[in-house]
A and B are shown apart, each in its own frame.
Chain A
């Protein structure tokens, strides 16, 4: 078992064996979550602070629940309404919180790289809960766990990621993770929503859903932000749904046993047909939410273990 990281800032620095270690641990917590006694003790005595500089309901709830199930003291701060509005800089906020000796900081921020910047200034473990358009590592990990449980493996799968790739941190983390685990990754979307240079990432790029979905084991849909629908990136909501919304006809080009995923929240009738989202034989969207808690428990467990080992080594050094 190896997971030699101090923070979880992204998928990019992770080694495939670290990803496997984390998913194995998460599998264990997923089983625990389905039992009667859901509590573990991996975070006993530790303090977890959730700092959300951007609105979130499900990710915030998922981290909060994960921390509580492992025995941490959890505090959630909605930074949009706090001192940040009074002009305090990100670094000053981080330093103030650091003075309260948290052990785990869960951070979401609207700017790419902001979580990395913050991690340099504090002496606890930092988990990235989404930074700008950069990374959202726990989402990619929960998607990976969902795929592994549904398909029995996480390699040599044909995976289509569809929709607004350009503005999606979920897509970036998933592309990195699925690539590291040696899958065939295909990006499908209108060219205005495909990032520049995407074809250099070791993925295939399609602007036609039927071609992109052909032979797919996994169809991963992304949310289209309302503010992108006004003619700036796509002509209209209805044209988008016609060309890129997942309906039964388009899905028929994927493998018959293909699973359908969505990171939520969904726009039914924009990027996905409601009947597909609710089809328990195809959609694993509810399972994704469940795996989210398990993956976050596993990530915090592994980081806390490293943190404890580091502190013990430090204390030992002082004694010697």
Chain B
């Protein structure tokens, strides 16, 4: 990548940027074409496949040299650990990791200490994001107070304060009456509910998915059926209440028919999958490697392949990092007592490139799931390469190889399952509202 300055402004403050010779990955049109893109005043001002325009105004010229330019990633379900666990991560460090990973909007989880269940707490996260994060920070709020599943939060006030969605994260609302009322109330305000489909009495204490591998390793396990039971219950309630519903993570093949049925019936339902469930399987846990302990646990290879196919078919809409920082002390324990979760903001894009290089998904399909669909689901204008859309963009080389060294990650916690693995795909530049927030130094 090369760039030269024209006019008298410095590169980072230029209000106008012209990117030429780029592979434009347009998830909306489903196209992957050579062309140029003009950014002005934080928005996309022009686009073409012909020769780029000659500009009289001062601007920065970025020669992409045939690399990919795509809408920035909108990542639903980032845990920043702030407030409460700043030794693991903060909004500042998560923001830096996001910028380096091509994530232009972090949709943050409310499973902090204390949980984000009041408008005041939500405003705090928004404000911190504006102050210290180079990328957009869009907070989600808890659906019930304290994420305890008993009383709904002030959904109206929280919406006014800017809550993107309502979720108790991995705390399943077990009381069906409470969930029904929360759905009914949220529906009247047009609020989106994000749930973690799981039957908790089956999954309690589980560290892996039940089957031959789990039994041989002697680890407490949960059947993949627990996810389907949880999803079927939620979908029945959506049918009853007509709520706007998103399942945070679908990871098993057995849950897919219910999802497809609900969509076909016209319910406002969408679903996500984590990058780890799309690229790893239960055998990766191998000799009790706790960095591979995630929630829900990694599944069988057949399930992984079914998730990839469901993404291609549009049954699953969104790919998330489910970024969950955990310090060394929480992970250096016997597998069944070690903490769950993995950091992924910086590895989301290179891991997703595995699905591109294997020929399973095209780049427009991947960015549909990582940018366009999550943006649309949350009512944002981003995720598109159309003139007029916000200039939240990522420029990346899908083929650049590297071996991941976890110590180089920008997150405070380094719990990535990809440590030491060969990966392809490097972010060259990340732009938020038309301004570069990350540029790879060579």
Binding site for B on A (CB under 8 A): 12, 89-91, 109, 111-114, 116-117, 131-135, 166, 169, 172, 195-198, 200-201
Contacts and interface: CB of A to CB of B under 8 A. Distances in A.
Nearest to B213: A197
B218 A172 contact: yes
Given A197-B215, A198-B215, A111 B335 contact: yes
Nearest to A169: B218
Contacts of A196: 210-212, 214-215, 221, 223
A116 B210 contact: no
Interface in B278-299: 287-288
B304 to A, nearest CB: 17
Interface stretch (B254-262, B326-334, B418-426): B326-334
B127 interface: no
Nearest to A115: B334
B336 interface: yes
Q: A-B pairs with the 6 shortest C-beta distances? A: A113-B288, A133-B218, A197-B212, A134-B218, A111-B334, A195-B215
A113 B329 CA distance: 17
Contacts of A200: 211-212
Nearest to A197: B212
Contacts of A166: 215
B219 interface: yes
Contact of A135 (B212, B218, B333, B335): B218
Contacts of B218: 112-113, 131-135, 169, 172
Contacts of A169: 218
B296 to A, nearest CB: 16
Nearest to B335: A113
B217 interface: yes
Given A90-B334, A172-B218, A116 B287 contact: yes
Contact of A90 (B210, B215, B219, B333): B333
A200 B216 CA distance: 10
A183 B58 CA distance: 81
Given A111-B334, A112-B334, A196-B210, A89 B288 contact: no
A12 B215 CA distance: 13
Contacts of A89: 329, 332-333
A111 B220 CA distance: 10
Nearest to B207: A112
A117 B288 contact: yes
A125 B332 CA distance: 21
B204 interface: no
B9 interface: no
Interface string B192-219: 0000000000000000001111111111
A157 B217 CA distance: 26
Given A135-B218, A197-B213, A91 B288 contact: no
Given A113-B219, A197-B215, 9 more contacts: A90-B334, A109-B334, A113-B287, A114-B334, A116-B287, A116-B288, A117-B334, A132-B336, A133-B218
B403 interface: no
A91 B216 CA distance: 24
